[in-house]
Amino acid sequence: MNNRYLTMRAHFLEREAKGECFFKLKELEQLWFCSLKNVKRILQQFEEAGKISYTPGAGRGNPSKITFAQPFQKEVEEAMKRWVENGNLDQAAQLLRLPIPKSWIAKVSSEIQEMFGYQQGTESKDVLHAFISRDITTLDPLKVSISFEAHLIEYLGDTLLKYDNKKDQILPHLAHHFESDSSKRHWTFYLRKGIVFHHQAPLTSKDVAYTIERIKNSAHSSYQWLADDVESVECAGPYKITITLKKKNPFFLRYIASPNFCIICSTLPFDEQEWIGTGPFFLKERTKNKLVLAAFDRYFLERPLLDEIHFYKVSHDAASIVNFTIENSPSNEVQKKLGIETGFRFLMCNLRRQTIIQNVSIRKAIYHLMDMNKLANELQWGQWIEASSFINSRSLPQKKDPKVILPLLKEAGYNGEPITLYHMNYPDAIKVANWYKEQGEKYGIHFVLYPFTLQDFYCQDIDQKADLIFMGEVSSLDPHLSFLGAFYNNTLLFRRMFPLSSLAWIDDMLELFKQGDLRKREAIMEKIEEHIRENNLLIFLHHPIKIRSFHPMIKDVKFHSFGHFDFSRIWIPN
């Protein structure tokens, strides 16, 4: 079925009545990105194919009319059935990107699940199909600040060292051995021999040196802090490299193990559309609506057991019904895995703008207004955990008292001024924002809602317009490095919206944090969190609980960093 026809039907769906729709040709010019002449030609083709009856508008300015031959829902169901039979995944994904009713998708969900679940191809390839409901932002390790993209980078690239979260230890990886002198300023790494990049070039110390220089000198990098302490780099041989630090930093080995410190090739300019690394998967295909990772046969450690993973962009409604770990068995059996996300959701106060949010009493009122138990009950949430900390194990319920809201607003001198509230542009986030806006109206608080995308998140314009932002922070496998990065990463909201006085104090605390042992670091984290709570720099909301379903044939399904599945371990018995 012609993609232009599908986009037209979806576009006209809300105004369609009894199979008829009135419109202006200019709409289709903009929808199809073509000239008026081509619009008329395409409509004629649809009419010749028996899909529509087209009646031009009588006279200038009068709307034209389309009469459709079949109900759109019937066409959707028939097309999906046909594509399932033919195995046409790209066409099916195109349909699932359109804003069609969720109920229609549900009706054909079993066919979609069968089509997009695990598949063994004609060449005996084990292929897993996945769904994402948004555009991929960036896969540049120096810019990525979104958890899913950061997770993908872990499969495309490798680091010199790896962090073992079970033992809280740093282990060899691309470097088979590492050592330092007594000053802990000179670190020497010995690289494994025989490691190759995805384009078959060998890994050498020059690639490590190039990666460090790129981190230090890259414009608009979110991760320059990873190499700030590096004073010099010496390649003593093709497989030996010494890094000298400006000062002692016991935390430096954790920096080296950060996924954003993955080693890239020195002989090619980095291109995130043609990602070249040494990771267990390579980037086989990347378009606006599809991403394909394929197993790298010459990976220096154990090769992934899956051959390929295909990610398709679809609508939010489709993604909520069709998961990448979906059923593909006659019994329709589905297994589920539950896990607490290694992160938290929060409401950020922008304290860099001179607005009423600067008032302590206003922030206290906003705190008491955000009653998580009431929100979860009225929006009929399932399982969740209230947050008062970055980490679930430290979180406790927070006392909210609605009786103090009006006195606090009076104390602040609030007179109904608009407060801009930014939120993610997807259904669940919209529901939360609308709920909070309604709560505010009960007390005379005027929230003005602004939806934004993850692409917008990277844009600094939000900083100049937002008073409050609903957002989340997700940790990697190393919670202490993630805590440090939350305040050092210039892209994240902590650095962008906390008051400079608080950031200066936090930076001083983080210097002590880097020098301390495990117990001391935990104590400093608690102290920083206490400062955030006392000043309501942000309002802690909750730790999400993720429940993911997957095909019962899929084995070794485990959560990995950022709360996503470990694709390198998944396998399917044949």
> What integer is the mean pLDDT of 379-401?
91
Residues of the chain with CATH 1.10.10.10: 1-69
Could you tell me the CATH superfamily of domain 147-269?
A: Dipeptide-binding Protein; Domain 1 (3.90.76.10)
Mean pLDDT (the chain) is 86
- The C-alpha R_g of the chain, in whole angstroms, comes to 27
Query: Given a cut of 70, is residue 479 above it in pLDDT?
Result: yes
What is the C-alpha to C-alpha distance for residues 222 and 493, in angstroms, rounded to an integer?
12
Number of helices (H), then strands (E), belonging to the chain: the values are: 21, 21
pLDDT, tens only, 540-561:
999 987 665 555 555 555 555 5
Query: Given a cut of 90, is residue 166 above it in pLDDT?
Result: no
Give residue 152's pLDDT band: very low, low, confident or very high (50, 70, 90). Answer: very high
SS3 state at 475: coil
> What integer is the mean pLDDT of 340-364?
92
Pairing of strands 175-180, 161-164: unpaired
pLDDT, tens only, 14-53:
888 989 999 888 888 888 888 888 888 889 989 888 998 9
DSSP string, 300-350: SSPPPSSSEEEEEE--HHHHHH--SS---STT---EEEEEE-SEEEEEEE-
DSSP string, 247-267: S--TTHHHHHTSGGG----SS
CATH class, 340-546 region: alpha beta
Check: CB of residue 304 under 8 Å from CB of residue 295. Answer: yes
Residues of the chain with CATH 3.40.190: 86-98+106-133+280-334+551-574
pLDDT at 183: 85
What CATH number has the domain spanning 1-69?
Answer: 1.10.10.10
Query: Given a cut of 90, is residue 186 above it in pLDDT?
Result: yes
Fold adopted by 86-98+106-133+280-334+551-574 = D-Maltodextrin-Binding Protein; domain 2 (3.40.190)
> What integer is the mean pLDDT of 424-445?
94
Write down the pTM of the prediction: 0.75
pLDDT at 330: 38
